[in-house]
Structure 1
Amino acid sequence: MTEPRHASHLEIVKRLRRAEGHLRSVVSMIEGGRPCLDVAQQLHAVEKAVAQAKRTLIHDHLEHCLEEAIGPLPLERRGSVVEFKEITKYL
């Protein structure tokens, strides 16, 4: 693996690898005829893990890359940037 761009990337990779393992177990559960409720619960956990990884990646990108792109702005001109970062919490 090449050097990650941001410190959070290592944690994101760990989270996605765990989700990958859980997803493999979902396939095995289906192939093994496990009850649908069990499969659905496991799929929900995989979905949440991937969504959290995506959210972390987006927030990290905004914190580092957006700040770098816009450069230093006076506090009174940062309103839109702060609001944009806040609204991404609802992704």
Structure 2
Amino acid sequence: MSQTKQHTTHPDLIKRLKRAEGHLRHVIGMLEDERPCADIATQMQAVERAITAAKRTLIHDHIDHCLGSGTDASSQAAARDLAELRLLAKLL
């Protein structure tokens, strides 16, 4: 298993996720208050997008700072592999 360490993006990710957590609590309140389904779905989509963006940032940060930090990363083949992985990660 790879080493765990905090990256420079982690504090921002924590803030984003806490904000999404609060937003999700609001959505639950909307359900409890029997608000219109279209309004609830719109808010749920916003929560989903926030979490997806946070996940994408975390994965890209891991690719850039963990996978590319080995001694083999300086070789051209490893650099190409990392570039391909970055492209694939955009599809997440």
Under a length normalisation based on structure 1, what TM-score does the superposition of the two structures give? Answer: 0.87
Distance in structure 2 (CA, Å) of the matches to 1:33 and 1:59: 39
Under a length normalisation based on structure 2, what TM-score does the superposition of the two structures give? Answer: 0.86
**Counterpart position of 2:82:** 81
2:22 matches 1:21: yes
On the 8 A contact 2:20/2:50 being kept in 1, the answer is yes
Segments of structure 1 that go 5 or more residues without pairing to the other structure are none
SS of 1:90 mapped into structure 2: coil
CA RMSD of aligned residues (A): 1.4
Aligned pairs for 1:56-75 within 5 A: 56-69=57-70, 71-74=72-75
Identity of aligned residues (%): 46
Segments of structure 2 that go 5 or more residues without pairing to the other structure are none
Distance 1:40 1:14, change over 3 A: same
**Counterpart position of 2:49:** 48
Stretches of 4+ aligned residues off by more than 4 angstroms:
none
Query: Aligned pairs, how many?
Result: 87
Tell me the amino acid that sits aligned with residue 68 of structure 1. Answer: S
SS of 2:7 mapped into structure 1: coil
